[in-house]
Structure 1
Amino acid sequence: MLLRVTGSSQVQQFLIPLTQSIYTLIDANMVRKIPIPSALIVRGMNLIYTGAYIILKPLGLAPAANAFLSGGLFGLLLLPVTAIYSIVYILREFILPAEGLWHDAVIYSVWGFVVWYLLSIIMDDAHCRVDDTCFRTPQNHFDRQAYELFKELFDYFPITCVPYSEKVTQQLATMDKQYVAGVHPHGIHCFPLTLLASPDTPFDQQFPGLVSGSAKTPKHPFTGLAATIMFKIPVVREFFLVFGYIDASRHVADAALDAGKSIFVVTGGEEESMYATSTGSGGQEDILVLKNRKGFVRLALKHGASLLPIFGVGNNDTFVRYNFAMGFRQWIQKTFKIALPIFHGRFFTPLPYHTPIKVIVGEPIHVPKPTDTNAKPDEKLVNEYHQKYIEALKEIHAKFADRPLRIV
């Protein structure tokens, strides 16, 4: 139907990028090398996102659609599962013969790809490499349209980026420092993270030349740290790989800083998501799991990287969290490192509430230059700068937030 009602020039506009996408399924120019099945998954997801963007943008629904996908991050797996099941169903019911060589070859090929993909997840080490990590710049029409859909997220809440003082703008403008940025709070989802992972975000507009893919070439591009489990969840892993995240293990973070990159991390991790404080029981305070989290300070001292405190005011209000069986769920989290927050958004769905998120970038805390990068930082120095970092966060929170802050 599309070909019959569309003019030849419009057909060309559709077919040319489609052809380019087919020829670049395995992109030789892709900076970050990922397994072939992952590259195919990325292309397939971008096709889906492009179609969604073309349909939803004119209707004004693109921001809500992206917020829904982001809120239900782990539900991303449903999209390719649905797509694969639909393909197999259509092939069997309408295209392939009921049985025979062609039927078996095609169906077994589809399931063969699924097995290949799952094995590649187990074998792949892309999340542990730092030499080729960066935001994956859109390569073609569908990549660009999919990225446009991603950027709609910033308009949904909306998300803005505010420097704590003029001093912040002046210091970050030099681009000559390495940073270890702590991002707070985790909330159910840490939406402020999205600002540092790619270009054309409110953070990149405020501080151009710091993030990977920025119009200004970054000297020490930001690279995000994510828990290992994120790279083992089908489809979710591709999201983190595309945005340049690496494994949050100590040796990988060390390697990233050795390579001259800056890093950012939610220091409270999955445990902090259990304390997201817009609750069904009416709790209203911001809680940070930070009292005993000093690893990021040790990294900064070891490499002479400045500490950069970042706080997303309003991030805890994007969902409602419930305290039901909290003691049991905290035991699971501490024992198995698996967080089980019970929450909902608008209409009892993963759609976040319309809550403005103001991401405050604090003043950098410069640390002394290390005399021996192979030596462990002195614990007294670690404690000193850890306390300085906590005090800086408290000052940020007191100036911009309207509720108490508790450090646990």
Structure 2
Amino acid sequence: MKIEFAPLNIPLARRLQTAAVFQWVFSFLLLAQCCCGVFIILLLGNYWFLPVLYALWLYIDWDTPQTGGRRSKWIRNWTVWRYFKDYFPIHLTKTSGLDPSHNYLFGFHPHGILVAGAFANFCTESTGFKELFPGLTPYLHILPLWFGCPFFRDYVMSTGLVSASKKSVSHVLNYGRGGNVAVIVIGGAEESLDAHPGGLTLSILKRKGFVKMALKYGAHLVPVFSFGENELFKQVANPRGSRLRTLQEKLQKIMGFALPLFHARGVFQYSFGLMPYRKPIHTVVGKPIPVRQNLNPTLEEIEQLHQTYLQELRILFDEHKQNYDIPDHESLIFK
């Protein structure tokens, strides 16, 4: 394979963008493991009292990821996130005003490989969420297991990430004054296995828990589609029924998260690596679906609202797909 190296005369701004994305990829893929390693090394060394004290703090602070987290305005405004956003670049588009007296549940689609659009738009201030939606505070929900990792948990909470547990979502949506936004990547780990360039398959037909939560707390549902999310990486072919896909699905059930075999470009060359391609991401926030609070919704009521959500999600995609070079005959595939 011929390797295409990056030219030497790349502008400084682009180099800084690459560095910003490199640290993000490292944080997503390896930082948790490194933090656990540091914890063990300290525990076995002369500074054993430091991890012991941290373990005590962890015990006391255990429920914080389920009670709104501990965000840092300073970290969310780091300059590195502006370079991160400009690398692709990532844009946030508003289609309708959202009343801050209500709470909202944003359904984010698709998952992609590393959910770059969701992170940039809802865990940093780089794309202008506060200006577009004044009075709203977004909380991006991720797998609870990440909050058991020492040190790493504190870093990710500082960006606004919180647990995807029912208790956590309930805490966000039950805020009496309104203005909270629970952002849930509906397709979850399962959907990442379908994250191929050009892919429009969403794992959503059996996922109705978010609808039940919206009904229980009277949170308005808002479909969000991130155009370009699946274009950032290439994934090893894994059609349903193949040995690889079967293995990936089994591992997902055991571990709770998926292991897509993906690749893209490198830092100093464009031929291979785990850095995403420079492909634009356009995250479009749809109009809200009004939801009346129902503490004990029936299965029929959940199904009816779920169907309404699917219809609004499809309408959102169809109305905007031509703006982002998706052929008119292409449509979403729900599974």
Q: Tell me the TM-score normalised to structure 2 length.
A: 0.80
Q: Structure 1 residues 253, 116: CA separation in 2 closer, same or farther (over 3 Å shift)?
A: same
Instruction: Give the alignment of 1:187-226 within 5 angstroms.
Output: 187-194=112-119, 195-210=121-136, 221-226=137-142
Q: Distance in 2 between matches of 1:151 and 1:264?
A: 21
Distance in 2 (CA, whole Å) between partners of 1:229 and 1:383 is 30
Secondary structure at 2:259 match in 1: coil
State the SS of the aligned residue for 2:296: coil
Match of 1:341 among 234, 256, 260: 260
Q: 1:127-161 CA deviation, whole Å, 9 max, x = no partner? A: 4442x6453122xxxx58x8111232111100011
Give 1:304's aligned residue.
218
**1:71, CA displacement in angstroms?**
2.6
Name the structure 2 match of 1:125: 62
| Structure 2 letter corresponding to 1:297 | V
Residues 90 and 127, structure 2, Cα contact 8 Å, conserved in 1: no
Higher relative CO (CA 8 A, sep ≥ 6), structure 1 or 2? 2
Matched, 1:185 2:185: no
Alignment of 1:2-401 (within 5 A): 60-72=14-26, 73-77=28-32, 108-109=46-47, 111-114=48-51, 116-117=53-54, 120-121=57-58, 124-130=61-67, 133=69, 135-138=71-74, 147-164=78-95, 168=96, 171-172=97-98, 174-194=99-119, 195-210=121-136, 221-260=137-176, 261-278=180-197, 284-323=198-237, 325-347=244-266, 348-370=272-294, 375-401=295-321
Residue 180 of structure 1 aligns to a residue whose secondary structure is strand
Aligned to 1:95: none
Q: Shift of the alpha carbon at 1:116?
A: 4.5
Secondary structure at the counterpart of residue 206 of structure 2: coil
Q: Deviations over 1:78-112 (max 9, x none)?
A: 76689999x99xxxxxxxxxxxxxxxxxx602x44
- 1:407 corresponds to: 334
8 Å CA contact 1:285–1:404 kept in 2: the answer is no
Q: Report the residue type matching 1:304 in the other structure.
A: G
Instruction: Note if contact 1:183-1:193 (Cα within 8 Å) is conserved in structure 2.
Output: yes
The aligned amino acid for 2:183 is: F
Q: Distance in 1 between matches of 2:184 and 2:138?
A: 10
Residue 126 of structure 1: how far off its partner (Å): 4.2
In 1, Cα distance between the equivalents of 2:285 and 2:296?
Answer: 28
Q: Deviations over 1:248-304 (max 9, x none)?
A: 1112221222234331111111111111122xxxxx321111001111111111111
Q: How many residues align?
A: 303
CA contact (8 A) 1:315 1:357 kept: yes
Using the TM superposition, give the Cα deviation of residue 332 of structure 1 relative to its aligned residue in structure 2, in angstroms.
1.8
Partner amino acid, structure 2, of 1:231 = F
Matched to 2:278, the amino acid is: H
Between stretches 343-352 and 194-203, larger displacement belongs to 194-203
Q: CA deviation at 1:175?
A: 1.8
Is the 8 Å Cα contact of residues 216 and 297 (structure 2) preserved in structure 1? yes
Whole-angstrom distance in 2 between the partners of 1:129 and 1:382: 24
User: What amino acid sits opposite 1:251 in the alignment?
Assistant: K
Deviation at 1:121, TM superposition (A): 4.8
Alpha-carbon distance change, 353 to 119 in structure 1, aligned in 2, over 3 angstroms: farther
User: What TM-score results when the alignment is normalised by the length of structure 1?
Assistant: 0.67
Structure 1: stretches of 5+ with no match in the other structure:
1-56, 89-106, 211-220, 279-283
The RMSD of aligned alpha carbons is: 3.0
SS at match of 1:152: helix
Show structure 2 runs of 5+ residues with no match: 1-10, 239-243, 267-271
Is the contact made by 1:162 and 1:358 (CA closer than 8 Å) also made in structure 2?
A: yes
Aligned-partner Cα distance in 1 for 2:150–2:233: 24
Q: Distance in 2 between matches of 1:330 and 1:127?
A: 31
Structure 1 residue 386, shift from structure 2 partner: 0.6
Counterparts of 1:397 and 1:364 in 2: how far apart (Å)?
15
Change (3 A) 1:406 1:127: farther
Following TM superposition, by how much is the alpha carbon of 1:65 offset from its aligned partner in structure 2, in angstroms? 1.3
Percent of aligned positions that are identical: 28
Alpha-carbon distance in 2 for matches of 1:133, 1:82: 24
Aligned 8 A contact 1:135 1:198 in 2: no
Deviation at 1:246, TM superposition (A): 2.2
- Quick one: which amino acid aligns to residue 319 of structure 1? F
The one-letter amino acid of 1:76's match is L
C-alpha distance after superposition, 1:20-43 (max 9, x if no partner): xxxxxxxxxxxxxxxxxxxxxxxx
